[in-house]
Structure 1
């Protein structure tokens, strides 16, 4: 493959075209090992970036390594400027933008917050296993982190140092508000696990509303260990199904099940997402789509420092 572990695409480099320089290839590739051997033989040393990727069994630093950008980049003279690395670091720390199935930006309507204020927060917490904090706040566990929903101030909050601060996470915010508005019972978990095509609103999950699983396949289709690490970082529970399967809990009483089959010479890698059927009593199809999409994003972010 022409793209090197550092992210440089050798196909668009004239040095590669002229045969002056060969591609390093992905970090786990045989091409990378040959390049490292050639560097050691001809230069007496190797590229620290390629050597690190090869040693840690990482194909592409920018996509696969949760230490990026590391000292191998920032302390080196190339391939990226300090401005580019600072931009990467800043944007990796930000929450990804949230879009609805139709491509519009997600916002929580003020009427939803008003509807939530009419609910008995203690009764809702009993049904959902959220924890009351104040009359207008409740805490819940989203995957591997505690989050507070602040109903009075219309926001989610996360811990930053010793303080709880407002967090820009509109997709999670929207689904959480809708979930708390609609929940009216304790629904069974793990008894009737289905795919979205088995739901009453199955027709919704087609075309532009199909689940966005392609990024998971691109990232983890040939990296089961990376998928396991990401799922376990998110407090996922391993399931004895597929090549790798995990139960992830965006809320204490809501589970999603991610199944990954690794590809081979005959079959392409596949990923499936299942859920407990009773969730459709609480969330409409577009909210289910949003919840799965938000957890998918967390998996793609991987096991962070």
Structure 2
């Protein structure tokens, strides 16, 4: 059964989607109209967990992403492109930290995303995607520990 938050996002998508093509212009969450109002929640729900989970081993983002059906992308140290809904890709990016800088993470969106989802739902799908990846990482680690 589909969880209620996902049903709500899908309903909003079906109501708002206008068929716009992807532009190829990537933006971050703050660049989405009204994104600055939700940025703190977005950061706590999506980018902070992404960084905490994959920042020390960014290659694991690629491994987990492939399990989820994502494709490798060209940003940061490691990044993946996840198609959450038709014409709604997320680019999850991780930079590995070093002696001078801590790990960082970012999520990028095609700027056409505003033609498909409201800003609140963009935060929700970002968090859902990150948490699915986190679950996959735990599963893969569990399998490795059993070997």
TM-score when normalising by structure 1: 0.42
- State yes or no: 1:189 paired with 2:22: yes
Out of 112, 115, 125, the position equivalent to 1:291 is: 125
TM-score when normalising by structure 2: 0.84
What do the CA deviations read for 1:111-166 (whole angstroms, capped 9, x no partner)?
xxxxxxxxxxxxxxxxxxxxxxxxxxxxxxxxxxxxxxxxxxxxxxxxxxxxxxxx
Deviation, 1:225, is 2.6
Deviation, 1:206, is 3.1
- State yes or no: 1:205 paired with 2:38: yes
Separation in structure 2 between the aligned mates of residue 247 and residue 206 of structure 1, nearest angstrom:
21
Kindly report which structure 2 residues correspond to 1:206-245, keeping only aligned pairs within 5 A, or say none: 206-212=39-45, 213-245=47-79
Structure 1 residue ranges, 4+ long, deviating more than 6 angstroms after superposition = none
Q: Name which structure has the greater RCO, CA cutoff 8 Å, separation 6+.
A: 2
Separation in structure 1 between the aligned mates of residue 67 and residue 106 of structure 2, nearest angstrom:
20
Out of 234, 254, 257, the position equivalent to 2:88 is: 254
Greater alpha carbon shift after TM alignment, 167-176 vs 249-258: 167-176
2:82 match: secondary structure: strand
Q: CA RMSD in A?
A: 1.8
1:263–1:276 Cα change, 3 Å: same
1:215–1:240 Cα change, 3 Å: same
CA contact (8 A) 1:257 1:275 kept: yes
1:205 match: secondary structure: helix
Higher helix proportion: 2
CA contact (8 A) 1:211 1:289 kept: no
2:144 counterpart residue number: none
- Matched residue count: 138
Deviation, 1:179, is 0.1
Separation in structure 2 between the aligned mates of residue 287 and residue 178 of structure 1, nearest angstrom:
8
- State yes or no: 1:277 paired with 2:111: yes
